[in-house]
Structure 1
Amino acid sequence: MMFRSALYVGAVTHRRVRPKVHQFRYRAFWLLIDLDEVTALTARLKLFSHNRFNLFALHEADLGDGSPTPLRIQAERLLAEAGIEIAGGAIRLLCMPRTLGYSFNPISIYYCHRPGGELAAIIYEVHNTFGERHSYVAAIEANSDEIRQNCRKVFYVSPFMDMDLAYHFRLTEPAERVAVGINASKDGERVLHASLAGLRRELTDRALLRIFLAIPLITAKVTLAIHWEALRLWLKGMRMRTRPAAPARHATPAINTSNRIDTHVL
């Protein structure tokens, strides 16, 4: 059986340009998991499990609303609330797997397809280190090799980032390479650019073991890196912002505003 699920190995890069210049780059990897292949993956792989302990695992509790409801059902509910119908099409989730029982994903991306295979919507699920998460749901109404979307920030992520920002997403569907770029801007001026990029590898036990040895404890590393970079920003004199209450709704719908597939939060 040939899986559409895959391993992507690459790096995460951040560059802040206002009000202080600050940048970093870390090696990283992600799993692209076709949510209809989870049962088959767990049967084939010894080092990957679903909702139980393993070297790597996918747990519903780590994503979505944190309930045991299957992630496909949760994603379909978010799409329905945004008026998007995929009629049983594939949903593929790009995320970092739970590693030796620990999970943290700054951003997880759901690529939601129609039955014919064309991309219908993107769900950007953002997590912060305070145990909160929020999703931005963006419909796609035209085919394009490159997806460009915009939305207004409504969810608190970093204590050093203002809330009155706009996000600008630029990405392509995962193939031999995956790439996602996010710019944050204020009053039309860029504040931060973040990106992730990786090359596809077949999802096998050998590949999983090799990537664990090369980049061990990836999710713990991400959490430590976030706090280390926050300390560096504080030492540079960055002022911490007060954390507002999380949005009342778990997800923010978005709408298309042009043929370039730009979206703005309602």
Structure 2
Amino acid sequence: MTIVEPKTAFDAAVAGVAGPVETTPALYRTRVTHLRRAPVHHYFELNSYSWYVDLDALPRLPGWARPFARFDAGDHFHGVAGDTLRARVDAFLAARGIDLGGGRVTALLQPRVLGYAFNPLTLYWCHDAHGVLRHVIAEVHNTHGEWHAYVIPPDGPNPAMVRKRFHTSPFNGIDGYYLVRAPRPDAELDVTISLHRDNQPAIVGTLRGTRRPATLAQVLRLQVTKPLAPQMGALSLRVQGLILRARRVPVIPRVAAGAPEKRTASVAHI
């Protein structure tokens, strides 16, 4: 039985054939942590999962299983009806004078599950035609259905620094800068993003996980151990937002900073 079309490393995993560690698609059982240091100390964790995929060979499950993992270009960037997520990434980069020359783009994201999508952060690793990693894109969504994407230098010995330019939370303004450490997922996933103000970390978030083969059995297992993952992620962040309000963390007035991209769907983040 064919699990994914077109054939990718997914088929090798199903057949029990060992492949290189960076093959796609893959699944990561993830642990998300979020530490707020000011104006109150607040910490929470969320266990979920993410897919690591090649945008030119997105997984395609059998028809009856597709509601558990559907990759919809309409959940990311801007584009036109019927285009692909890869086309949207290329158009986003082209608007910034970047041409990958057809090089590979891989992404870490959550698909739609039972028709619902929740992607507060999607990471893309963009390679040139020679396979060299040139850029990392961090696509972020906020509570108002808006999105913004940061183009970040590839992972090096030090975290990349990028100025904050987008409202991600009613409890945060657009002041400060991010330090981003986002190496390509391998056997382990290890991403750290920290928001700094006055040269001090105000918020530190991590995304860590262990690689799993992207087999149909693994997909179904996750529907039992982590059911409705996007829905539960959104609900968890709404609850954390209510806790911060109860602790009287001030809501920051929104100040225009450029023109954030607008999407019709709305989700909750802190």
After superposition, the Cα gap between the structure-2 partners of 1:170 and 1:114, relative to the gap in structure 1 and judged at 3 Å, is same
- In the alignment, is the contact (CA less than 8 A) between 1:133 and 1:250 conserved in 2? yes
Task: Determine the structure 2 residue equivalent to 1:2.
Answer: 9
What letter corresponds to residue 185 of structure 1 in structure 2? H
- In the alignment, is the contact (CA less than 8 A) between 1:135 and 1:250 conserved in 2? no
Unpaired stretches in structure 2, ≥5 consecutive residues? 1-7, 11-23, 263-270
1:160 counterpart SS class: coil
- In the alignment, is the contact (CA less than 8 A) between 1:82 and 1:137 conserved in 2? no
- In the alignment, is the contact (CA less than 8 A) between 1:127 and 1:133 conserved in 2? yes
1:246 deviation in Å? 6.8
Task: Determine the structure 1 residue equivalent to 2:36.
Answer: 16
Q: 1:91 aligns with which of 88, 105, 117?
A: 105
1:46 deviation in Å? 4.9
Task: Determine the structure 2 residue equivalent to 1:61.
Answer: 74
Q: What whole-Å deviation, never above 9, does each CA across 1:145-201 have from its counterpart, x for those lacking one?
A: x56211111111111112212111012111111111000011211100001011111
Residue identity (%):
32
Q: What whole-Å deviation, never above 9, does each CA across 1:3-30 have from its counterpart, x for those lacking one?
A: 4211111210000111110000110110
Q: What whole-Å deviation, never above 9, does each CA across 1:222-255 have from its counterpart, x for those lacking one?
A: 111111001111111201112344732649xxxx
2:244 counterpart SS class: helix
> What is the TM-score of this pair, normalised by structure 1?
0.84
Q: CA RMSD in A?
A: 2.0
Does residue 101 of structure 1 match 2:115?
A: yes
- In the alignment, is the contact (CA less than 8 A) between 1:47 and 1:56 conserved in 2? no
2:231, 2:217 → 1: CA distance?
22
1:48 deviation in Å? 5.7
- In the alignment, is the contact (CA less than 8 A) between 2:141 and 2:148 conserved in 1? yes
1:218 deviation in Å? 0.8
What letter corresponds to residue 241 of structure 1 in structure 2? I
- In the alignment, is the contact (CA less than 8 A) between 2:181 and 2:192 conserved in 1? yes
Within 5 Å, give how 1:73-152 maps onto structure 2: 73-140=87-154, 144=156, 148-152=159-163
- The farther-off stretch of 59-68 and 9-18 is 59-68
1:66, 1:104 → 2: CA distance?
19
After superposition, the Cα gap between the structure-2 partners of 1:190 and 1:36, relative to the gap in structure 1 and judged at 3 Å, is same
1:66 deviation in Å? 6.0
2:161, 2:236 → 1: CA distance?
27
Report how many residues are paired: 241
- In the alignment, is the contact (CA less than 8 A) between 1:45 and 1:204 conserved in 2? no
Which aligned segments of 4 or more residues in structure 1 are displaced greater than 6 angstroms? none
1:8, 1:159 → 2: CA distance?
29
Task: Determine the structure 2 residue equivalent to 1:171.
Answer: 182
What letter corresponds to residue 230 of structure 2 in structure 1? T
Unpaired stretches in structure 1, ≥5 consecutive residues? 252-266
Q: 1:28 aligns with which of 48, 55, 71?
A: 48
Q: What whole-Å deviation, never above 9, does each CA across 1:111-133 have from its counterpart, x for those lacking one?
A: 11122322111111000122111
